[in-house]
Amino acid sequence: RTSGCFTLAAMTAAVAALVVLASLLRTACLDPGIMPRGDPLPALEVFSILKTNRAKPYSHHFCDICNIACGSDMKAKHCKRCNNCLVGFDHHCEWVGNCVAKRNYPAYLLLLGSITYG
Q: What is the DSSP string of 8-75?
A: HHHHHHHHHHHHHHHHHHHHHHS---BPPPPPPPPHHHHHHHHHHHHHSTTTEEEETTTTEEEETTTT
63, 82, 93, 99: which one is catalytic? 93
Is 29 considered catalytic here? Answer: no
Enumerate the active-site residues.
Answer: 93
